[in-house]
Every structure is written in C-alpha cells, then in structure tokens.
Amino acid sequence: MGHNLLTLRGGGRIKRILYIVICHISHFVAGCVTASMAIKYPLLAALLFASFIVYELSEDWKLSDGAYRDIFFYALGLYLESIFIAIN
C-alpha cells in the first residue's frame, strides 16, 4: 500500500516513521471494518479476513517485511471492534 511513500525524496527517518504509522493505522482500520461487516454479512467478513491473511503472507514471502506485525494490528482492530460491538 504505502511502498510508494518510501520513494519520495528527502526526510529519510521521518518518511519511514510516517510509513510505519500509516500502515499500522490502515491495518487496524481494516480489522475494525471486518469485525463490523461480520454482523450483517458474515460470509463477506470471512472473505475479507481470508484475503487479508493470504495477501500479507504473499507479501511477506516476496518482500520478507515481517507480515506478523501487519497481521497483529489487523487482529487488534478486529478484537477491539468485536469487544466494542459486544458491549453496545
């Protein structure tokens, strides 16, 4: 997703930190969306979950970028949104 952000000129460390923050937030939000979809559309939520995991493992295989971190933030969004939904 944000790999093109790294090709911008200048600001090496700031650019890398910004990239990491954007990636973590986007994976967290993707987990929240998946959990929200599970209420009305459980099959779609399962498809979103499976496609995310396959994508991350494929990306890790090609880039060796530590997909476990991306999956962790996705799962964190998934779990926190599930708790939020259960409370309300």
- Region 23-37: mean pLDDT is 95
Does the pLDDT at position 79 exceed 50?
yes
For the chain, the domains span 23-87
pLDDT at 51: 94
d(CA 5, CA 15): 7
Of 1 and 73, the structure prediction assigns the larger pLDDT to 73
Q: Which residues of 54-81 are buried (b: 16+ CB within 10 A; e: fewer)?
A: eebeeebeeeeeebeebbebbbebbeeb
> What is the rounded average pLDDT for all residues in the chain?
87
What is the residue type of 17?
I
